[in-house]
């Protein structure tokens, strides 16, 4: 079996893991489950080490032998407030991780000495909505606030890209751990099962990567327990090794959700074991939610500004786009503005009457080598048009036409990124045809800064069985990526859509 095949198999296995059904919990807290009759069906084995109680002796007994009856009623009622109680003389914060008709899962988190929680931290983030703060300033404020509250050595905001790789876009640190600012991480570092859990449970605490786990003990024939909403859920060994290789002994992550989608994570790291009390975990979650509202406000404000700017430019441009000269060129001013509108290296217009190339003007600086269609035969451009017309869409935006269509022979140095729109037009004979606009960008090689070489490793245990091993170094590793253009931004897509709409209105009313 080849190494590449083994690696693919192991990654696929990682992606399919049932990470919510580990059968174990982290040992910093206790887990109990009782059935509809309030009798204990599951208990974590660390009950003995934490409270001196034999866990097997509690199975089948009323849970009120351990937990106050009033506290249990509150938990069963779905009270989302933290319930403080004493168990065998020890202070615990109780949380109902899951409540159902057939039972309730209870987590007991050790209560830390009372501390004054910072008041209004989440509201301060909301107040910024009224201010004209940019994203970078808001991210810096967020990481600084979370670091001050939690006491972790390094706090970063990790933003996901469309392919689920990510980049550290903000950081508060300066302690013992190195900076990761601007470094990228591959999608496999946070596999799909883990990302799904961040949608269902808003944070993840790992208090000590070297601490032993506590198995769940049960007398039920099917003892499988869904730990999706449990803070105590144990951690995959490969992730613990990943953190150790990073020099991290404790971590705490909070999801950043935008309109129900995972936008990024707040990730806190510490070089020593560190337990974070439940009230602080919840406060960080509230701050993350407030930041998400702030982020939506920033995006909405930027979009309004962009719309105002785009509509003015496009309306003016459309008025000038009255007719195409019969010799196959557009007026120079219109050509230049069509290219500038989407920062394109070249473009073309295709209609029932033919193909019209749109080139930058001779006076445009530093563009002598940026006309990738100069030597392209018209047949190749028409082949591109034929492909687009075969799609069931009126807009496409690709950063690599070669990756989307590997059978195309157009070199990326000529056309790599492609944005195309089409709109219906009524011809002189009354028939309907399509007017198509194409903009393209040539290849833009980029140096990508990774946190260590992004490739996964396959190691073997003493029996020769392969297993997935995380990289051992997170020092900056640079990669030269080719075969893609500068990405089309959300502003570019908005511009293209507005332009299509403006052209359509002009065609209707001409």
The per-residue pLDDT for range 35-84, each reduced to its tens digit, is 999 999 999 999 999 988 999 999 999 999 898 888 888 888 876 667 88
pLDDT band at 394 (very low <50, low <70, confident <90, very high): very high
Using the predicted structure, report yes or no on whether residue 258 has a pLDDT greater than 80. Answer: yes
% pLDDT > 70, the chain: 83
State residue 233's pLDDT score.
94
State residue 262's pLDDT score.
97
Candidate from 127-136, 229-238, 398-407, 477-486 with smallest mean pLDDT: 127-136
Average pLDDT over residues 84-107: 88
Using the predicted structure, report yes or no on whether residue 506 has a pLDDT greater than 80. Answer: no
State residue 418's pLDDT score.
95
Closest to 487 measured CA to CA, from 424, 441, 448, 454: 441
Q: Extract the runs of DSSP E, i.e. beta strands, from 199-358.
A: 203-206, 213-218, 250-258, 261-270, 346-351, 354-358
Using the predicted structure, report yes or no on whether residue 428 has a pLDDT greater than 80. Answer: no
Using the predicted structure, report yes or no on whether residue 374 has a pLDDT greater than 60. Answer: no
**Could you give phi then psi for residue 261, rounded to 5 degrees?**
-110, 150
Question: Half-sphere exposure (CA, 13 Å, Cβ side) for 179?
Answer: 9
pTM exceeding 0.85: no
Do the domains 321-444+484-509 and 13-300 match in fold? yes
Closest to 404 measured CA to CA, from 426, 388, 421: 388
Using the predicted structure, report yes or no on whether residue 498 has a pLDDT greater than 50. Answer: yes
Separation of CA 246 from chain center: 21
State residue 247's pLDDT score.
95
Q: Cα separation of 86 and 236, whole Å?
A: 31
State residue 235's pLDDT score.
93
| Domain 13-300 part of CATH 3.30.450.40 | yes
Candidate from 41-55, 186-200, 460-474, 495-509 with smallest mean pLDDT: 460-474
Using the predicted structure, report yes or no on whether residue 6 has a pLDDT greater than 50. Answer: no
State residue 272's pLDDT score.
97
Whether residue 350 contacts residue 385, with contact meaning beta carbons closer than 8 Å, is answered with yes
List, as one string, the DSSP characters of 54-103.
Answer: -HHHHTTSBGGGTS-HHHHHHHHTT--S-EEEEETTEEEEEEEEEEETTE
The residue among 93 and 223 whose pLDDT is bigger is: 93
State residue 118's pLDDT score.
62
Using the predicted structure, report yes or no on whether residue 173 has a pLDDT greater than 80. Answer: yes
Q: Cα separation of 232 and 206, whole Å?
A: 8
Using the predicted structure, report yes or no on whether residue 94 has a pLDDT greater than 50. Answer: yes
pLDDT band at 465 (very low <50, low <70, confident <90, very high): low
The residue among 505 and 165 whose pLDDT is bigger is: 165
Enumerate the H helices of 201-277 as residue ranges. 237-245
| Token pair of 492 as six digits | 């570019």
Whether residue 509 contacts residue 501, with contact meaning beta carbons closer than 8 Å, is answered with no
% pLDDT > 90, the chain: 47
Whether residue 341 contacts residue 495, with contact meaning beta carbons closer than 8 Å, is answered with yes
Q: Cα separation of 31 and 92, whole Å?
A: 12
Domain locations in the chain as residue ranges: 13-300, 321-444+484-509
Closest to 395 measured CA to CA, from 505, 502, 494: 494
The mean pLDDT value of the chain amounts to 84
Q: Cα separation of 386 and 251, whole Å?
A: 52
Average pLDDT over residues 196-208: 95
Q: Cα separation of 286 and 122, whole Å?
A: 6
State residue 124's pLDDT score.
61
State residue 13's pLDDT score.
52
pLDDT band at 290 (very low <50, low <70, confident <90, very high): very high
Using the predicted structure, report yes or no on whether residue 466 has a pLDDT greater than 60. Answer: no
Find the helix or strand (DSSP H, E) in which 341 lies.
helix 332-341
Candidate from 249-263, 304-318, 355-369, 408-422 with smallest mean pLDDT: 355-369
Q: Cα separation of 399 and 209, whole Å?
A: 40
Task: For tokens 């196959």, name the residue.
Answer: 328
* Topology classification of domain 321-444+484-509: Beta-Lactamase (3.30.450)
State residue 7's pLDDT score.
42
């Amino acid at each position: 079996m080849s190494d590449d095949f083994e690696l693919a198999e192991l990654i696929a296995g990682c992606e399919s893991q049932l990470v919510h059904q580990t059968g174990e919990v982290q040992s910093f807290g206790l887990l109990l489950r009782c059935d509809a009759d309030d009798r204990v069906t599951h208990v974590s084995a660390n009950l003995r080490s934490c409270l001196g109680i034999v866990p097997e002796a509690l199975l089948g007994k009323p849970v009120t032998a351990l937990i106050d009856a009033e506290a249990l009623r509150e938990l069963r009622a779905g009270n989302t407030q933290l319930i403080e109680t004493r168990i065998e003389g020890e202070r615990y914060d109780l949380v109902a991780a899951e409540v159902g008709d057939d039972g309730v899962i209870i987590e007991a988190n050790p209560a830390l000495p009372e501390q004054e929680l910072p008041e209004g931290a989440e509201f301060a983030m909301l107040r910024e909505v009224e201010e004209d703060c940019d994203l970078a300033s808001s991210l810096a404020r967020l990481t600084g606030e979370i670091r001050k509250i939690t006491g972790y050595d390094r706090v970063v905001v990790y933003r996901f890209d469309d392919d689920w790789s990510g980049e550290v876009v903000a950081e508060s640190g300066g302690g013992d751990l190195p900076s990761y600012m601007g470094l990228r991480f591959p999608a496999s570092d946070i596999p799909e099962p883990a990302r799904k859990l961040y949608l269902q449970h808003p944070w993840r605490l790992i208090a000590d990567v070297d601490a032993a786990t506590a198995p769940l003990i049960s007398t039920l024939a099917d003892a499988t327990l869904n730990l999706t909403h449990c803070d105590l859920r144990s951690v995959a060994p490969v992730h613990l090794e990943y953190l150790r290789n990073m020099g991290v002994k404790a971590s705490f992550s909070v999801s950043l959700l935008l309109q129900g989608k995972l936008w990024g994570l707040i990730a806190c790291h510490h070089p020593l074991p560190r337990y974070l009390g439940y009230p602080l975990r919840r406060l960080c979650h509230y701050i993350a939610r407030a930041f998400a509202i702030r982020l939506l406000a920033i995006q909405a404000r930027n979009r309004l500004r962009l719309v105002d700017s785009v509509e003015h430019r496009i309306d003016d441009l459309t008025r000038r786009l009255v007719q195409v000269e019969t010799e196959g060129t557009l007026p120079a001013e219109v050509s230049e503005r069509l290219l500038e509108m989407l920062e394109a290296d070249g473009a073309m217009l295709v209609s029932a009457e033919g193909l019209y190339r749109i080139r930058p003007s001779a006076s445009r600086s530093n563009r002598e080598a940026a006309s990738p269609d100069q030597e392209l035969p018209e047949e190749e451009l028409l082949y591109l048009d034929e492909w687009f017309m075969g799609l069931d869409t009126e807009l496409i935006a690709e950063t690599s036409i070669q990756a989307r269509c590997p059978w195309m022979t157009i070199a990326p140095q000529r056309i790599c990124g492609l944005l195309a729109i089409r709109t219906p037009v009524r011809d002189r004979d009354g028939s309907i045809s399509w007017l198509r606009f194409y903009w393209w960008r040539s290849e833009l090689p980029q140096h990508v800064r990774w946190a260590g070489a992004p490739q996964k490793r396959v190691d073997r245990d003493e029996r020769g069985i392969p297993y997935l091993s995380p990289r051992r170094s997170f020092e900056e590793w640079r990669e030269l990526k080719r075969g893609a253009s500068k990405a089309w931004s959300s502003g570019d897509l908005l511009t293209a859509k507005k332009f299509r709409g403006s052209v359509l209105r002009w065609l209707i009313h001409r």
